[in-house]
A and B are shown apart, each in its own frame.
Chain A
Amino acid sequence: MLALEAQTRLGGLELDLALEVAPGRCLALAGPSGAGKTTTLRIAAGLIRPDSGVVRCGEQVWLDTDRRIDVPPERRRCGYLFQDYALFPHLRAWQNVAYGLRGELPRGERRRRAHELLERFGLDRLADARPATLSGGERQRVALARALARRPAALLLDEPLSALDARTRAQAARELAAVMRAAEVPTLLVTHDFAEAAQLADSVGIIDGGRVVQRDVPAALAAAPRTAFVADFTGASVLTGMARAGDGGLTLVTLDGGGDVASTDAATGAVAVSIHPWEIALEPAGAERHGSTRNQLDVEVVSVTPIGGRVRVGLAAPQPLTAEVSEPAVRALRLAVGGRAVATFKATAAQLIPR
């Protein structure tokens, strides 16, 4: 169990949070830039000392400001994967991996174990390469091997996949998931990507302004986002407007910049409306109103991007709105950039979040 509790002021940030991760579990930390995600990892690793707080890992107390305990980073056994990997440029790949084994194993053993780890990540042929000559994916794996070499008591991963291109990323995510399962230690993962969090983490903590504002399993976050950030993070479009009570128990939202949206959520005043792209259907401009799709917005098509078998369509409503539709639908509607269409979605699909 990794348990962290910290209060501190750092520049403009006022951090005040508590979190726990069980062994073999992964908690993803997500939130806007500057919200305190990386700071939290650094506090866990002992690289930043909070004004007050407690960090415990298993039986060990790493930090307890009341009892004046502050174990230095080199004795905390954290496997820290830095955002830009922080490989030592003057050392070869295997020397980077063996770096953490000093004082753990005799010299010859260190080299053998480093090669073993590199082999596990399919990098044994690059053991003698310097970091500058490696690709992004290779660097990520060397850094991961280095973080695991000391058999860490906790894993701290700072955006482990964000520096990778989309193709490398899927493969790296699968590897990382396998590594986390095998390591059986608590993992804290900082991420900007909801898909990454959903794939790797058991639960997601949303940090904003130095506080955990929502913590839940990924599916629950997508289903009931508590803030506009959470809605946006889970991939939903977020529109802003003013809400008032409407007919039949519905809430009517007048969107900033024009257009009306009805929702089954109750709210008044300034709200964010969150709609998932797959809840939105597109119809030709000027189509007849019908059925239970209560909401109809006149939109302009600003982008058409095929992803796999589906097509992501960027819309101006005039606020930005994203719909995900099938390829046949795109052809039938003759959707093209600059064209007009009607975006329709149910009142139940429009979630209201007070602002």
Chain B
Amino acid sequence: MRPGPRPRRPRWFPALLGTALGLVLVFLTVPVVGVFVNVSPAELLASLGEEGALDALRLSLETTAVALAIIIAIGTPAAYLLATRSFRGRALVVTLVELPLVLPPAVAGIALLAAVGPEGLLGDVVAGTGVRLVFETAGVVVALTFVASPFYIRQAQAGFAAVDPTLLQASRTLGAGEAATFVRIAIPSARAGLLSGAALGWGRALGEFGATLVFAGSFQGVTQTAPLAILERFGTDFTAALALSAVLVVVSATLLLSVKLLSGSAAFGGGTGAGA
């Protein structure tokens, strides 16, 4: 028996999908490639030798590291609460936590000034503790924490919500209290979500720009982070701006890659509740 003619399948839809992905890829990668094509390695090293550039990079790494530490220390238990308990007004709390995600960065800076600036809502409280925020490095950390924490908390919450609740219950029946269960079962099980949240939050903090500028200013060595240094050089020395940009691309890409690798090893071969 001869096979009949094969039914014609519409081919245009797969072609459409492929074209869309191609456009996305070109649009997103060409600018990044451009950064490296336009700056020679010699120029890159030369502009890094400049004092201000190194200051900005160091400050960026320091402030983002401190901000991330604060976000993880406070955001992890908060996200666990949101993921595992239901309470009145939970939806409202979740929305409030996510609000900074959609806030324009300049608005975030203004809002921070209005809240913890010298004339702000809590200005006296802040002044009373002896901590100075505006135009100070501590202010940069506050701005970064404000804009980056929702990224972490959202991911962490999703990670915790994906943990099989019977794992937590099993832990309880085996003699571990709520706190021990959180540390020994929930956190390791949600590791993939926590790591990707930390990467997103760190990436957001590293690129933070508007809120920092408005709230803390742009003083070399004190509040001028790498993105602010790029902005300053943009008007005067485009090559230097490109060089600093290239460094930031490398740092961010390394970050993304290492998180992918780490969370890859966090999945335990399809066991229950790996939270991947």
Q: Is A211 an interface residue (CB 8 A)?
A: no
User: Once the chains bind, are B175 and A100 in contact (CB under 8 Å)?
Assistant: yes
Q: How far is the CA of A90 from the CA of B270 in the complex (A)?
A: 11
Q: Is A78 an interface residue (CB 8 A)?
A: yes
User: Once the chains bind, are B176 and A86 in contact (CB under 8 Å)?
Assistant: no
User: Once the chains bind, are A72 and B169 in contact (CB under 8 Å)?
Assistant: no
Q: A86-B166, A86-B167 are in contact. Are A73 and B173 (CB under 8 A)?
A: yes
User: Once the chains bind, are B172 and A73 in contact (CB under 8 Å)?
Assistant: yes
Q: Is B164 an interface residue (CB 8 A)?
A: yes
The stretch among A129-137, A229-237, A306-314 that forms the contact with chain B is: A129-137
Q: Which of B54-113 contact A (CB under 8 A)?
A: none
Query: In the assembled complex, how far is the CB of residue A177 from the closest CB belonging to chain B, in whole angstroms?
Result: 22
User: Once the chains bind, are B177 and A74 in contact (CB under 8 Å)?
Assistant: yes
Q: Which of B151-192 contact A (CB under 8 A)?
A: 164, 166-167, 169-177, 180, 184-185, 188-189, 191
User: Once the chains bind, are A76 and B173 in contact (CB under 8 Å)?
Assistant: yes
Specify which of A89, A130, A133, A150 is in contact with B174 (CB 8 Å cutoff).
A150
Q: Which of A121-164 contact B (CB under 8 A)?
A: 130-133, 146, 149-150
As a 0/1 sequence over residues 233 to 267 of chain A, the CB contacts with chain B under 8 angstroms (1 = contact) are 00000000000000000000000000000000000
Specify which of A45, A74, A76, A132 is in contact with B271 (CB 8 Å cutoff).
A132
Q: Which residues of A contact B185 (CB under 8 A)?
A: 88
A48 (CB) vs chain B CBs: closest residue? B169
As a 0/1 sequence over residues 72 to 86 of chain A, the CB contacts with chain B under 8 angstroms (1 = contact) are 111111111010101
Q: Which residues of A contact B184 (CB under 8 A)?
A: 99
Q: A73-B169, A84-B166, A88-B167 are in contact. Are A99 and B268 (CB under 8 A)?
A: no
User: Once the chains bind, are B271 and A131 in contact (CB under 8 Å)?
Assistant: yes
Q: Is A102 an interface residue (CB 8 A)?
A: yes
Q: How far is the CA of A89 from the CA of B270 in the complex (A)?
A: 9
Q: Is B274 an interface residue (CB 8 A)?
A: yes
User: Once the chains bind, are A47 and B169 in contact (CB under 8 Å)?
Assistant: yes
Query: In the assembled complex, how far is the CB of residue A139 from the closest CB belonging to chain B, in whole angstroms?
Result: 10
Q: Is B235 an interface residue (CB 8 A)?
A: no
A99 (CB) vs chain B CBs: closest residue? B174
User: Once the chains bind, are A45 and B175 in contact (CB under 8 Å)?
Assistant: no
User: Once the chains bind, are B271 and A89 in contact (CB under 8 Å)?
Assistant: yes
Query: In the assembled complex, how far is the CB of residue A187 from the closest CB belonging to chain B, in whole angstroms?
Result: 15
Q: Which residues of B contact A78 (CB under 8 A)?
A: 173
Q: How far is the CA of A132 from the CA of B269 in the complex (A)?
A: 6
Q: Which residues of A contact B169 (CB under 8 A)?
A: 42, 45, 47, 73, 80, 82, 86
Q: Is A104 an interface residue (CB 8 A)?
A: yes
As a 0/1 sequence over residues 259 to 276 of chain B, the CB contacts with chain A under 8 angstroms (1 = contact) are 000000000111111100
Q: Which residues of A contact B188 (CB under 8 A)?
A: 88, 90
Q: Which residues of B contact A82 (CB under 8 A)?
A: 166, 169-170
Q: A82-B166, A84-B166, A130-B268 are in contact. Are A89 and B273 (CB under 8 A)?
A: yes
Query: In the assembled complex, how far is the CB of residue B270 from the closest CB belonging to chain A, in whole angstroms?
Result: 6
- We find that the number of chain A residues with CB closer than 8 angstroms to chain B is 32
Q: Is A108 an interface residue (CB 8 A)?
A: no
User: Once the chains bind, are B173 and A89 in contact (CB under 8 Å)?
Assistant: no
Q: How far is the CA of A166 from the CA of B181 in the complex (A)?
A: 35
B275 (CB) vs chain A CBs: closest residue? A89
Q: How far is the CA of A293 from the CA of B86 in the complex (A)?
A: 62
Query: In the assembled complex, how far is the CB of residue B211 from the closest CB belonging to chain A, in whole angstroms?
Result: 37
Q: How far is the CA of A99 from the CA of B174 in the complex (A)?
A: 7
Q: Which residues of B contact A102 (CB under 8 A)?
A: 175-176, 180
Q: Which residues of A contact B167 (CB under 8 A)?
A: 86, 88-89
Q: Is A11 an interface residue (CB 8 A)?
A: no
As a 0/1 sequence over residues 82 to 121 of chain A, the CB contacts with chain B under 8 angstroms (1 = contact) are 1010111110000000011011100000000000000000
Q: Which residues of A contact B171 (CB under 8 A)?
A: 88, 99
Specify which of A75, A76, A84, A146 is in contact with B272 (CB 8 Å cutoff).
A84
User: Once the chains bind, are A74 and B269 in contact (CB under 8 Å)?
Assistant: no
Q: A89-B189, A130-B271 are in contact. Are A72 and B177 (CB under 8 A)?
A: yes
User: Once the chains bind, are A45 and B176 in contact (CB under 8 Å)?
Assistant: no
Q: Which of A290-311 contact B (CB under 8 A)?
A: none
Q: A84-B272, A89-B271, A90-B268 are in contact. Are A150 and B175 (CB under 8 A)?
A: yes
Q: How far is the CA of A46 from the CA of B164 in the complex (A)?
A: 18
User: Once the chains bind, are B175 and A74 in contact (CB under 8 Å)?
Assistant: yes
Q: How far is the CA of A149 from the CA of B170 in the complex (A)?
A: 13
B167 (CB) vs chain A CBs: closest residue? A86
Query: In the assembled complex, how far is the CB of residue B180 from the closest CB belonging to chain A, in whole angstroms?
Result: 8
Q: Which residues of A contact B268 (CB under 8 A)?
A: 89-90, 130-132
Q: How far is the CA of A240 from the CA of B163 in the complex (A)?
A: 45
As a 0/1 sequence over residues 45 to 71 of chain A, the CB contacts with chain B under 8 angstroms (1 = contact) are 111000000000000000000000000
User: Once the chains bind, are A80 and B170 in contact (CB under 8 Å)?
Assistant: yes
User: Once the chains bind, are B176 and A74 in contact (CB under 8 Å)?
Assistant: yes
Query: In the assembled complex, how far is the CB of residue B170 from the closest CB belonging to chain A, in whole angstroms?
Result: 4
Q: Which residues of B contact A100 (CB under 8 A)?
A: 174-175
Q: Which residues of B contact A86 (CB under 8 A)?
A: 164, 166-167, 169-170, 272
Query: In the assembled complex, how far is the CB of residue A314 from the closest CB belonging to chain B, in whole angstroms?
Result: 35
Query: In the assembled complex, how far is the CB of residue B167 from the closest CB belonging to chain A, in whole angstroms?
Result: 5
B187 (CB) vs chain A CBs: closest residue? A90
Q: How far is the CA of A146 from the CA of B188 in the complex (A)?
A: 19
Q: Which residues of A contact B191 (CB under 8 A)?
A: 90
B177, B188, B189, B271 — which one has the most chain A CB atoms within 10 A of its CB? Answer: B271
5 residue pairs from A and B, CB less than 8 Å apart: A72-B172, A80-B170, A89-B272, A90-B274, A132-B270
Given contacts A100-B174, A104-B175, 7 further A-B contacts (CB under 8 A): A47-B172, A72-B172, A74-B172, A79-B173, A88-B170, A90-B274, A99-B174
Q: Sort A-B residue pairs by CB-CB distance and give the 5 closest, nearest first.
A: A89-B271, A100-B174, A132-B271, A132-B269, A73-B172
